[in-house]
Amino acid sequence: MTTRPTTRIVAAAVAGLLTAAALIATATAAPRTAQAADCGALFDDFHYDSHTDADLAARGWTVRANQGGPGVPGAQWPASNVSFPTVDGDRALRLTAQTDGTAAGTSHAEMFHQRKFYEGTYAARVRFSDAPVVGADGNHLVETFFTITPLAYDMDPDYGEIDFEYLPNGGWGETGNIFYQTTWETYQNDPWVADNIHTSQRRSFAGWHDLVFTVSGGEVRYYIDGALAATHGGKYYPETPMSINFNLWFIDLAAHTGGVSRYVQDVDWLYFSQNEVVAPAEAVDRVADLRADGVGHTDTVDPSCTPTGPTDPPTDPTDPPADCDGATAWQWSAVYLEGDRVTHAGRLWEANWWTQGSEPGLTAQWRDLGPC
């Protein structure tokens, strides 16, 4: 989850909305890569006593305890917001976030694995929540499962991020449930410039879901409960090893209505197979087999086995001119919908979603299409 100076904002060129029919379609297994499971696998059933369990660090996990982004500036990230209660009869990773409407009274949660994962299949069983376990609802928060390579400098071409992000109460210009699958090339903090692509579904995803994404052959494919939800590729394909992360955090405090609100996100298990494309149903079956054999954790992933990924083709340092014919000049008071195009500061911009009063080039609501 990319750290931002204020909020973590999804800025993307829209890959398209997934229809309900697509969500219930049967996923087709992709062909396996030449290098397969001999490069190893990771499975974790999250059978830990607490966030202080020594096995967490021994197995490559870090429970975050430092301040910083994403989310509400000044919020805390206490390690105690990560726990491992019994959920539906089995231990699970639980992330807790709560707020009283102030930065000092807001806390987030995050746990992440070491940076050694690249091509292969990533799978997790995650329970999203639409409502808090304590307090009033309506807060803008993000529930996640993602991988990331740190940004070394603005527009770092080796940066990478692959996100499942669920917003139960909207945010980032949305007013209701929305589930994003976002793949990043890179970004710049100041002024804000984002280079990514996303797909989204606008409906509730409360409850347990099998989330899978595969990274292979120049494509990142996202699956929700066995159905193909998005395919991203081209320059958005990652180039470097990533960490595996889960976090839960508030975008802002604008929708808080009083008192203390507390939300949780649960993760039943995590599975990764290196350099192998595994169909979603097969990944779930492998987890069931590991559990049946009494395996609670295994990690045979060999980072040295990671093949060299595809590189981005050379680009001309001069942006090609955009087709600005028909686009009107951006106006502060105008309302723009997803896909609307405007000109501003000599460039063509496309709205990523509903927006008003957000200046192109300074906010994530706009995608830069190039000079006019």
Q: Residue 220's beta-bridge partner residues?
A: 215, 232
Q: Is 314 a member of any domain?
A: no
The parent domain of residue 109 ranges over 13-305
d(CA 35, CA 301): 13
Question: In this structure, is residue 2 part of a structural domain?
Answer: no
**Residues 298, 201 within the same domain:** yes
Residues 354 and 263 in one domain: no
The whole-number pLDDT of residue 333 equals 78
Tell me 223's DSSP state.
E
Residues 48, 158 within the same domain: yes
Report the C-alpha gap between 116 and 151 in whole angstroms: 16
227 and 92 in a single domain? The answer is: yes
Q: Specify the number of domains making up the chain.
A: 2
Confirm whether 311 is domain-assigned.
no
- The Cβ-side half-sphere exposure at 1, using a 13 Å CA radius, reads 29
- Between CA 55 and CA 97 the distance in angstroms is 24
Please state whether beta strands 261-274 and 207-216 pair in parallel, antiparallel, or not at all (unpaired): unpaired
99 in any annotated domain: yes
Tens digit of pLDDT per residue, the chain (372 long)?
A: 543 333 333 333 333 333 333 333 333 333 333 334 478 999 999 999 999 999 999 999 999 999 998 999 999 999 999 999 999 999 999 999 999 999 999 999 999 999 999 999 999 999 999 999 999 999 999 999 999 999 989 999 999 999 999 999 999 999 999 999 999 999 998 888 999 999 999 999 999 999 999 999 999 999 999 999 999 999 999 999 999 999 999 999 999 999 999 999 999 999 999 999 999 999 999 999 999 999 999 999 998 885 544 444 334 344 568 889 889 998 877 888 888 999 987 889 888 777 776 777 656 677 788 888
* Residues 151 and 292 reside in one and the same domain: yes
Alpha-carbon Rg of the chain, whole angstroms? 20
Same domain, 155 and 296: yes
**Residue 269 belongs to a domain:** yes
Question: Which residues fall within 8 angstroms of residue 147, CB to CB, at 6 or more apart?
Answer: 117, 122, 160, 161, 162, 238, 242, 243, 244, 245
Question: Tokens standing for 271?
Answer: 């599975």
Classify residue 266: in a domain, yes or no.
yes
Long-range pairs for 158-162: beta carbons < 8 A, 24 or more residues apart: 158/239, 158/240, 159/184, 159/185, 159/186, 159/187, 160/184, 160/185, 160/238, 160/239, 160/240, 160/242, 161/1, 161/2, 161/196, 161/238, 161/242, 162/122, 162/213, 162/215, 162/220, 162/238, 162/242
- 296 lies in some domain: yes
The answer to whether residue 320 sits within a structural domain is no
Q: Of 279, 283, 285, 273, whose CA–CA distance to 39 is shortest?
A: 273
What is the domain-level CATH number for residue 103? 2.60.120.200
Q: Are residues 220 and 357 in the same domain?
A: no
Pair (150, 225) in one structural domain: yes
Residues 131, 269, single domain; the answer is: yes
Phi, psi of 79, deg, nearest 5: -60, -30
Q: What is the pTM of this model?
A: 0.75
User: Is residue 111 a contact partner of residue 95, using CB atoms and an 8 Å limit?
Assistant: yes
Contacts of 302 (CB under 8 A, 6+ apart): 39, 40, 274
283 and 338: one domain?
no
Q: Mark whether 293 and 357 lie in a shared domain.
A: no
Q: Looking at residue 18, what is its pLDDT?
A: 32
For CA atoms 259, 260, 265, 266, give the dihedral sign: negative
What is the CATH number for 367? 2.10.10.20
The verdict on 232 and 342 lying in the same domain is: no
Query: What pLDDT score does 354 carry?
Result: 79
